[in-house]
Structure 1
Amino acid sequence: MTHAASPGEPSPLRGRRPPQGDAVIDRAFALLDAFTSARRVLSLADLTHLTGMPRSTTLRLARKLVETGALERREDGRYTIGLRLLEIASLAPRGHGLRAVAMPFMEDLFHITRQHVLLAVRDGDEALLVERLSAHDADPVLYRVGGRMPLHSTGVGLVLLAGAPSSVQERILEHLPVGPAGQEVPDAAELRRVLADVRRGGFATLTLTAPWPRTSVAAPLMDPDGMVCGALSVVLPRTDVDHKTMTPAVRTCARAISRELRSAPCADKPAREAR
Structure 2
Amino acid sequence: MANSPTGETVTERIVRVLETFGTDRTVQTTAEIGRRAGLPSSTAHRMVADLVECGLLERDEEQRVRLGMRLWELALRGSRALRLRQAALPFMERVQARIGEHTQLAVVENDETLFIERLSHPHAGANITRIAGRLPLHASSSGLVLLAHGPEELRERVLTGPLEAVSRETVTDPARLRRVLADIRRDGVVVAPGSVETVSTGVAVPVREERGRVIAALSAVLPRGAPTRHAVAELRAAASAISAAIGAHGP
- TM-score interval (norm. to shorter): over 0.9
Question: Residue 105 of structure 1 is aligned with which of 83, 91, 94?
Answer: 91
Give CA deviations for 1:199-240 in whole Å, capped at 9, x if unaligned. Answer: 11111111117743221111111112221100101111123x
1:4 aligned residue: none
Structure 2 letter corresponding to 1:160: L
Instruction: Indicate whether 1:80 and 2:76 are aligned.
Output: no
CA contact (8 A) 1:91 1:97 kept: no
CA contact (8 A) 1:34 1:50 kept: yes
CA contact (8 A) 2:103 2:119 kept: yes
Q: 1:225 to 1:184 in 2, by over 3 A?
A: closer
1:68 aligned residue: 54
- Mark the runs of 5 or more structure 1 residues left unpaired by the alignment: 1-17, 270-275
Instruction: Indicate whether 1:261 and 2:249 are aligned.
Output: no
Aligned partner of residue 152 in structure 1, secondary structure: helix
2:34 aligned residue: 48
Give the Cα separation in 1 of the matches to 2:43 and 2:100: 49
1:113 Cα deviation (Å)?
A: 0.7
1:132 Cα deviation (Å)?
A: 0.4
Aligned partner of residue 87 in structure 2, secondary structure: helix
1:245 Cα deviation (Å)?
A: 3.0
Give the Cα separation in 2 of the matches to 1:118 and 1:209: 16
- Mark the runs of 5 or more structure 2 residues left unpaired by the alignment: none
Give the Cα separation in 2 of the matches to 1:53 and 1:171: 30
Structure 2 letter corresponding to 1:151: L
Instruction: Indicate whether 1:122 and 2:108 are aligned.
Output: yes
Instruction: Indicate whether 1:212 and 2:219 are aligned.
Output: no
Structure 1 letter corresponding to 2:58: E
Aligned partner of residue 154 in structure 2, secondary structure: helix
Give CA deviations for 1:160-197 in whole Å, capped at 9, x if unaligned. Answer: 00111100101111104231453342411211111111
CA contact (8 A) 2:139 2:196 kept: no
Give the Cα separation in 1 of the matches to 2:78 and 2:99: 29
Matched residues, number: 248
* TM-score, scaled relative to structure 2: 0.93
Instruction: Indicate whether 1:91 and 2:87 are aligned.
Output: no
Aligned partner of residue 138 in structure 2, secondary structure: coil
Structure 2 letter corresponding to 1:138: A
Question: Residue 229 of structure 2 is aligned with which of 222, 233, 244?
Answer: 244
CA contact (8 A) 1:126 1:157 kept: yes
Q: 1:242 to 1:194 in 2, by over 3 A?
A: same
2:8 aligned residue: 22
Structure 1 letter corresponding to 2:198: W
Instruction: Indicate whether 1:131 and 2:117 are aligned.
Output: yes
Aligned-residue Cα RMSD (Å) equals 1.7
CA contact (8 A) 1:220 1:254 kept: yes
Give the Cα separation in 2 of the matches to 1:211 and 1:159: 18
Aligned partner of residue 94 in structure 2, secondary structure: helix
Give the Cα separation in 1 of the matches to 2:207 and 2:196: 28
Aligned partner of residue 61 in structure 1, secondary structure: helix
Q: 1:23 to 1:145 in 2, by over 3 A?
A: same
CA contact (8 A) 1:176 1:188 kept: no
1:109 Cα deviation (Å)?
A: 0.2
1:273 aligned residue: none
Of 246-255 and 96-105, the range deviating more from structure 2: 246-255
Equivalent pairs: percent with the same residue?
A: 38
Q: 1:208 to 1:47 in 2, by over 3 A?
A: same
1:119 Cα deviation (Å)?
A: 0.3
Give the Cα separation in 1 of the matches to 2:44 and 2:78: 28
Question: Residue 167 of structure 1 is aligned with which of 145, 153, 164?
Answer: 153
Structure 2 letter corresponding to 1:242: P
